[in-house]
């Protein structure tokens, strides 16, 4: 049973990180992310662009390892990246920078406790799945594909939830 949950988690986190990476590649999204990261760092816009590109590569790498590598390695990397993102959200909110969320593309909503809890909870879930013991019988190929696809649907639902929540949140002026 735990093996099935690991495969669903693999699919969900693969979709989540793939969508996050691809959505940041568009010009306005990349600029928003760069500006937010520049505000966190010591050296301004060059730092922001470098960090934005690094984050996109990290998200794409995690998605690739989740899809093609061992589940425990991919889920461990996902947990680590999500913990780092939670740390960035915490730093932003503690310093009251008022940075916008560029998690899945356009930055509409100010980073806050909802983003911190989301990233922290997802990090803990990924870590749990990465460390979960697996039994002697793993799902077969057909079951694995079905479970991973189910997880991908869950990952897309998380992204859509974020988009709907951002659209319904009134903008601060």
Domain positions in the chain are: 2-168
The pLDDT score that the predictor gives to residue 75 is: 95
Which residues lie across from 110 on neighbouring strands? 100
* Integer CA distances (angstroms), 163 to 70, 81, 95, 103, 107, in order: 30, 21, 25, 10, 10
Distance of CA 133 to the CA centre of its chain: 24
Above 80 in pLDDT, residue 31?
Answer: yes
Q: Tens digits of per-residue pLDDT, 50-101?
A: 988 999 999 999 999 999 999 899 999 999 999 999 998 898 889 888 887 7
pTM recorded for the entire structure: 0.80
CB distance 166 to 109 below 8 Å = yes
Percentage above 90 pLDDT, the chain: 29
């Amino acid at each position: 049973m735990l093996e099935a949950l690991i495969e669903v988690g693999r699919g969900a986190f693969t979709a989540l990180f793939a969508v996050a990476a691809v959505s940041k590649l568009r010009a306005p999204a990349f600029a928003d992310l760069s500006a937010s990261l520049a505000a966190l760092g010591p050296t301004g816009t060059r730092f922001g662009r470098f960090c934005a590109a690094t984050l996109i590569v990290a998200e794409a790498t995690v998605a690739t390892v989740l899809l093609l590598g061992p589940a425990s390695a991919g889920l461990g990397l996902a947990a680590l990246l999500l913990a780092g993102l939670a740390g960035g959200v915490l730093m932003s909110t503690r310093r009251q920078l008022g940075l916008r969320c560029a998690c899945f593309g356009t930055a509409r909503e100010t980073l806050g406790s909802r983003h911190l809890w989301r990233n922290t909870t997802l990090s803990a879930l990924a870590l749990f799945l990465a460390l979960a013991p697996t039994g002697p019988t793993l799902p077969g190929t057909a079951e694995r594909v079905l479970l991973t696809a189910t997880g991908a649907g869950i990952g897309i639902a998380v992204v859509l939830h974020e988009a709907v929540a951002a659209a319904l949140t009134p903008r601060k002026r």
